[in-house]
Amino acid sequence: MDYELLMQRCIELAKLGQGKVSPNPMVGCVVLDAQGNIISEGYHEQYGENHAERNALLNLMNSDKKPHTLVVNLEPCSHFGKTPPCADLIIEKGIKRVVTGMRDVNPIVAGNGITKLKNAGIEVIENILEDECRELNEVFIKNMTEHKTFVAIKTATTIDGKIAAYTGSSKWITSDNARNHVKQIRNMYDAILTSSSTVIADNPTMEHKYKIVLDRELKTDFENANIYKSGTIYVFYDKNIDPDKPKSILRQIETKKNINLFPCHVNDNKIDLNHVLNKIYELGIMSILVEAGGHLNGSFLNYTDKIYQFIAPKILGDNSGLSCFNYRSVTSINDSVQFKIADVQHFTPDILITYKK
Ligand code: AOF
Ligand code: ZN
């Protein structure tokens, strides 16, 4: 049986839950009969609701088809969470073989699901397409193992790595085709994060359910800026600014219950990103997409797990324009920050390169 092909299908199914299951992992499941025919499929559709295996097995409730093999991209759970353990249901349904993509990194499960299945006499085949399965749930893995929010940066640049001309002119570097794909990338993250400079310079809307704005001096236009017109917004500001400022803004935005202000530590005139990241993790935001200028991108570099760089085949020229990463000046190439290329895609006439730590 082609377990890799079946696992690929599980990954595809799992992705249907993208943007809806956080902080849970994305999970898809395929069930086969003894002859190897697919008789059911399911996925984890919504946080708090049925796990993938339960959905796939419940589909068979009023059918006389007999499940034999269950393929799933994550070890079936062994605990009572929002739902009873999937391992118990798999045993109860008389499944003979379970094929998995990776062990669950959640310490409550961590191998206990596999043990439960084996103790019930079920054959278990592990780690099919393990790399792909780990990649699918990279956010969940970081959250569970490091208790930290996953950080990605999106930038759109010229060939020479510029995000705008020196005048600030930046609309548009990349094509509609590329910019439409950004919406899909946003959907993969719990929140978007940007800076007051970007809000003031570009007045973006950044359509998303949760948005974070770093506004040290609270100088963005809380009444009129597009970013504040939809979604739930968390604004971080310097806790040492004149306390009348946040008070007057709170009065001004009283009717906009969707804006929340958080005082924050500042080092060297910059918002302490460690403080911000800890706070947003506490708020239950498990992944963010940073969409800002070179300064904030540079400051985030040490916290970044992934970079999406759209590149348009245009050149602004040396000394002209703003760099996508204002980080620091190094004297040796050996001191550069190193990433790996994870993927290259065409959004004609532009390309998207995805880099990983
Ligand atoms: C699976 N299949 O589809 C998912 C799993 O509180 P709960 O009930 O939503 O459980 C969440 C935990 O269950 C999560 O942290 C992870 O360990 C596992 N998720 N497991 O076998 C699924 N979503
Ligand atoms: Zn489960």
Name the closest-CA residue to atom 22, ligand 1: 51
Average confidence (pLDDT) over 17-44: 97
Strands ordered across the beta sheet of 123-125: 38-43, 28-32, 69-72, 97-100, 123-125
What is the pTM assigned to this prediction?
A: 0.93
The response to whether residue 104 sits with its C-beta less than 6 Å from ligand 1 reads yes
Name the closest-CA residue to atom 4, ligand 1: 51
Asked whether residue 124 falls in the same domain as residue 206, the answer is: no
Give the separation between CA 177 and CA 19, rounded to whole angstroms.
Answer: 22
Question: Angle CA(151)–CA(156)–CA(157) in degrees, nearest 5?
Answer: 125
The string of pLDDT tens digits covering residues 255-268 is 777 999 999 999 98
The label of the residue with tokens 């191998």 reads 111
Asked whether residue 55 falls in the same domain as residue 167, the answer is: no
Of 137, 154, 183, which residue sits at a domain end? 137
Residue 108 CA: which ligand is closest?
Answer: 1
Catalytic residue flag (residue 223): no
Cα torsion 273, 275, 277, 283: sign: negative
Residue 321 pLDDT class (50, 70, 90 cuts): confident
Whether the Cβ atoms of residue 313 and residue 283 lie closer than 8 Å to each other = no
Ligand 1 atom closest to the CA of 86, numbered from 1: 21
Asked whether residue 122 falls in the same domain as residue 218, the answer is: no
Residue 26 pLDDT class (50, 70, 90 cuts): very high
- Is the pLDDT confidence value at 329 over 90? no
345, β-bridge pairs? 352
Residue 20 CA: which ligand is closest?
Answer: 1
Q: Supply the range of the domain harboring residue 30.
A: 3-137
Residue 250 pLDDT class (50, 70, 90 cuts): confident
Ligand 1 atom closest to the CA of 106, numbered from 1: 17
pLDDT of residue 75: 98
**Integer distance in angstroms from the first to the last C-alpha of the chain?**
35
pLDDT of residue 119: 97
Whether the Cβ atoms of residue 331 and residue 316 lie closer than 8 Å to each other = no
Asked whether residue 132 falls in the same domain as residue 149, the answer is: no
Task: Read off the CATH number of the domain in which 200 is found.
Answer: 3.40.430.10
**Which residues, other chains included, contact 297 with Cβ-Cβ below 8 Å and sequence gap of 6+?**
153, 155, 290, 324, 325, 326
The string of pLDDT tens digits covering residues 259-302 is 999 999 999 889 999 999 999 999 999 999 999 999 999 999 99
The response to whether residue 321 sits with its C-beta less than 6 Å from ligand 1 reads no
pLDDT of residue 199: 96
The structural domain count of the chain equals 2
Asked whether residue 219 falls in the same domain as residue 333, the answer is: yes
pLDDT of residue 333: 92
Ligand 1 atom closest to the CA of 44, numbered from 1: 3
Give the separation between CA 125 and CA 272, rounded to whole angstroms.
Answer: 46
Of 78, 109, 137, which residue sits at a domain end? 137
